[in-house]
């Protein structure tokens, strides 16, 4: 199945991809209030794991200089990810992504917010390799939207290839995790996030 072509999300050129979506329907009288809750959750990166459960990945928000922050994310910020299983030696057991774009779209019928993330180096290191199991060509595009009385939370993965620009141990680790991601393991974690963000019960 071909990945969806969505405005603002990179075109799939090679490697793995996924369209991971979760939706909920509300009455027209409560949809706006529910979307406000979803927006608050979407912008609260440090709390994502609490919405998903302890078996989910841990997300921590950092500014462009590598300092921990707790605010609305913006372009140039970073997210440190602690996935279940072995982590990178490059980043003391974590994976890192940079927020390369934040956008908002309101067409009148659809309102959406998009956070585009790309594998990155550890932000406070002047030297080093990309600290992620995917190469920098990959993007994780996290989106929330409201259309009519439907809320959607989604993650769209594009151009997911293993990161081989790393130390030997990390290259081995990246190959197995990226290969697992391409065949569905990564999608399971993103599905947990997409569902967790939108589950208010």
pLDDT at 12: 96
Place of tokens 């996030």: 193
Q: What are phi and psi of 161, to 5 degrees?
A: -125, 150
CB neighbour list of residue 15: distance below 8 Å, 6 or more residues apart: 137, 138, 159, 160, 161, 182
Please tell me the distance from the alpha carbon of residue 74 to that of residue 97, in angstroms, as a whole number: 13
Alpha helices in 16-137 (DSSP H): 31-42, 48-52
pLDDT at 131: 79
Structure tokens at 74: 């913006």
Letter string b/e over residues 30-42, b meaning 16 or more CB atoms within 10 A of that residue's CB: ebeebbeebeebb
Rounded average pLDDT per 10-residue block, the chain, 201 residues: 90 91 96 97 96 86 96 97 63 84 95 96 80 86 97 95 63 53 60 92 73
Neighbouring C-beta atoms of residue 169, cutoff 10 Å = 12
pLDDT at 89: 52
Structure tokens at 7: 């405005």
Neighbouring C-beta atoms of residue 2, cutoff 10 Å = 7
Give, for 156, the enclosing helix (H) or strand (E).
Answer: strand 150-160
Q: Measure the CA angle with vertex 159, ends 156 and 162; round to 5°.
A: 115
Structure tokens at 90: 């490059």
């Amino acid at each position: 199945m071909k990945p969806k072509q969505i405005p603002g999300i990179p075109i799939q050129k090679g490697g793995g991809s996924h369209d991971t979506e979760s939706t909920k329907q509300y009455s027209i009288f409560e949809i706006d209030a529910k979307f406000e809750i979803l927006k608050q959750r979407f912008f609260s990166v440090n709390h994502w794991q609490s919405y998903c459960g302890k078996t989910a990945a841990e997300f921590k928000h950092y500014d462009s200089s590598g300092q921990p922050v707790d605010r609305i994310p913006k372009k140039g910020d970073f997210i440190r990810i602690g996935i279940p299983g072995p982590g990178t030696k490059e980043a003391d057991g974590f994976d890192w992504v940079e927020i390369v774009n934040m956008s908002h779209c309101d067409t009148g019928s659809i309102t959406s917010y998009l956070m585009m993330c790309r594998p990155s180096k550890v932000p406070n290191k002047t030297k080093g390799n990309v600290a992620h199991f995917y190469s920098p060509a990959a993007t994780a595009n996290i989106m929330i939207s409201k259309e009519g009385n439907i809320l959607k939370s989604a993650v769209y993965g594009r151009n997911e290839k293993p990161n081989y620009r790393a130390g030997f141990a990390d290259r081995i680790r990246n190959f197995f995790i990226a290969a697992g991601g391409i065949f569905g393991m990564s999608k399971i974690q993103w599905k947990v996030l997409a569902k967790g963000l939108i589950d208010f019960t």
